[in-house]
Amino acid sequence: MAGDADARRDRGQLENEVLAALAAASGPLTPAQVLAELGTELAYTTVMTTLTRLHSKGAVSRARTGRAYAYVLADDATVAARRMRRVLDNGQDRAVVLARFFDELDPADVPVLAQLLARSQET
Amino acid sequence: MRFAVYLPLLTAAMLGTFAPALSRRLPPATGTKLLTGSAVLTAVATSFVLAVLAFTLIGQLPLVAALGHWSGSTLAAATPIPALGAAAALIAGAGLALSTGRAMLIRARAMIAARALCQRLGGHPGQLVVIDDDAIDAFAVPAGGGRIVASRLLLQTLPPAERRAVLAHESAHLEHHHHLYRLAAELAAAVNPLLRPVARGVHFASERWADEIAAATVGDRETVATALARTSLNSRARTGERRDACAPTRLAITGPTTLARVQALLRPAPQPRRGLVIGVLALLAATLLASGEIQHDTEHLFEHVMRTSITLTAPGI
């Protein structure tokens, strides 16, 4: 049972990574390009299966380019910014329920953080 | 009873004092659970004590005394709690009940808003939804199965491994129901304001918990640290000034913790701290014992008052 849950979670995580790669790209990507963009050691067929599954869920759309399909994020997987911001800027609700990746930075922390970032990029 | 009634307050004050250190030293999953549990238990003990103290005064009202079949003046003579203390407990209890009600209302409204947001987002549970705008932002919406939201710009500015770290961090929030721990801790802090630092500790520890899961997923702590430093700096460079201008309304309830998270990720993974856990559990056990004693003493007090009242009011005496 735990194995099933793990597999489902990994599948969901991979689907999100593929969606993120497509969102970051400037145009449609072929499965080979997605694989390169993911930067992990994955089998081509795994990426292919994930793209097919996302397509059947309506999260990505595809168009034939030569012999392969090229994929882009479907409209359903993106949200118009204005509509979204209106909900988000609505009072205290945002701070109370949403789990943000990072908090507001204390201005005093900015140079420290910049230094840490510069150092880690050197190595 | 005279001393036991102060113990829940003392526990709350101690937890409040040590919560920041505990949230940094304990492994984050342990810290989140232990601090949430302590906050809830202490809040319950506090309300119990306030209710008991207040009732030693309310019980002296003629109407209440008549309903309970005891004499108000006998109770006034027998209670070990000074009237002034009981009155303070009554006022504090009423005020805290109001503020707790308000906190619950805000939370309920926020959950409804999150649910509505989730419905608008579409997609399936746990899915990433991309916002097309010029902000650098990522967050998890814990309703309707949960969604992860990220702005396109954030995804474009991160290398693949760091993108994976952000996604793993946000899905960890959803998978481990971090919003429920935060909810419980914040309601406990509304009941007993001394517990506010504990609620902040739960917030911080649950962020760290998600960071550790992200580090395990990408297999490298420094990648998560870099992703965190990069996104917060980029976001500030882009919107920092604008945001500072309207800070009062959107000030993060937790205060700035990003730097502390980055520093924790640059250190080795936290080790179990059995001593700290046992210390907190001992404190909670003492609070439970004190609450038990208060209950026992209160029962005795009222039994005594009722017995004495019956003798006093019996006909023919």
Q: Tell me how far apart the alpha carbons of residues A36 and A22 are, in angstroms, rounded to a whole number.
A: 12
Pick from B121, B155, B259: which is nearest to A79 by CB? B121
**Looking at residues B277-281, what average pLDDT do you find?**
96
Q: Do B229 and A106 touch (CB under 8 A)?
A: no
> Taking Cα atoms as reference points, which of B201, B183, B203 lies closest to residue B15?
B201
- pLDDT of A91 strictly over 60: no
Q: Do A95 and B143 touch (CB under 8 A)?
A: no
What is the per-residue pLDDT for A87?
63
- pLDDT of B214 strictly over 50: yes
Domain encompassing residue B118: 4-313
pLDDT in tens, B74-104: 899 888 888 898 999 999 999 999 999 998 9
The alpha-helical segments, DSSP class H, found in chain B are 7-25, 28-58, 62-68, 72-78, 83-121, 152-157, 160-175, 178-191, 196-218, 221-245, 247-250, 258-266, 274-313
Q: Do A103 and B222 touch (CB under 8 A)?
A: no
Identify the band that residue B122 occupies on the pLDDT scale cut at 50, 70 and 90: confident
Identify the band that residue B310 occupies on the pLDDT scale cut at 50, 70 and 90: confident
Residue written as token pair 């520093």: B263
Residues 11-50 on A with a CB inside 8 Å of B are 12-13, 15-17, 19-21, 23-24, 37-40
Inter-chain Cβ pairs, chain A and chain B, closer than 8 A: 201
Residue extents of the structural domains in chain A: 1-123
Give the architecture (CATH level 2) of A1-123.
Orthogonal Bundle (1.10)
**Looking at residues A94-100, what average pLDDT do you find?**
71
Of residues B238 and B74, the one with the higher pLDDT is B74
Identify the band that residue A80 occupies on the pLDDT scale cut at 50, 70 and 90: low
- Chain B hits for A119, CB-CB cut-off 8 Å, are none
Q: How far is B297 from chain A (nearest CA, A)?
A: 40
Whether B217 contacts chain A with CB within 8 A: yes
Q: How far is A68 from chain B (nearest CA, A)?
A: 23
Q: Do B217 and A13 touch (CB under 8 A)?
A: yes
pLDDT in tens, B282-306: 999 999 999 999 999 999 999 998 8
**Looking at residues A76-100, what average pLDDT do you find?**
65
Q: What is the mean pLDDT of chain B?
A: 88
- pLDDT of B256 strictly over 80: no
What is the per-residue pLDDT for B273?
93
- pLDDT of B316 strictly over 50: no
Q: Tell me how far apart the alpha carbons of residues B80 and B221 are, in angstroms, rounded to a whole number.
A: 57
- pLDDT of B197 strictly over 70: yes
Element (H, E) at B130: strand B128-132
Q: Tell me how far apart the alpha carbons of residues B210 and A20 are, in angstroms, rounded to a whole number.
A: 19
The pTM for the full model equals: 0.89
Q: How far is B97 from chain A (nearest CA, A)?
A: 20
Identify the band that residue B249 occupies on the pLDDT scale cut at 50, 70 and 90: very low
Pick from B110, B127, B133: which is nearest to A93 by CB? B110
Residue written as token pair 């080979």: A32
DSSP at A75:
G
Q: Say how many domains are in chain B.
A: 1
pLDDT in tens, B169-195: 999 999 999 999 999 999 999 999 999
ipTM score: 0.87
What is the per-residue pLDDT for B240?
56
- pLDDT of B241 strictly over 60: no
**Looking at residues B149-165, what average pLDDT do you find?**
92
Of residues A91 and B202, the one with the higher pLDDT is B202
What is the per-residue pLDDT for A35?
93
